[in-house]
């Protein structure tokens, strides 16, 4: 589970721009659904998520579900 990360956006899948850092906190002891809101609306064809901190100092990561809303 990811505690901290950065979201990147791209229109072509080649050039990436960082859009937002996020922090979900301690997901191991509190696995409730988390939400991240962008400061301003974002439009892109591709999204990339870079993990900065994995819960429990792990070295692998899985994501069960991502929902994006307008």
| Amino acid 19: pLDDT | 92
Q: What does pTM read for this prediction?
A: 0.77
What length does the chain have?
70
| Amino acid 27: pLDDT | 67
CA nearest neighbour of 2 among 48, 57, 47: 57
pLDDT by residue (tens digit) across 36-46?
Answer: 888 888 888 99
How confident is residue 58, by pLDDT bands cut at 50, 70 and 90? confident
CA nearest neighbour of 25 among 16, 17, 34: 34
């Amino acid at each position: 589970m990811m505690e901290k990360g950065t979201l990147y956006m791209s229109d072509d899948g080649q050039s990436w721009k960082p859009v937002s850092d996020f922090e979900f906190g301690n997901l191991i002891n509190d696995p409730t659904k988390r939400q991240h809101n962008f400061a301003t609306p974002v439009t892109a064809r591709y999204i990339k998520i870079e993990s900065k901190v994995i819960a429990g100092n792990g070295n692998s990561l899985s994501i069960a579900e991502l929902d994006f809303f307008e």
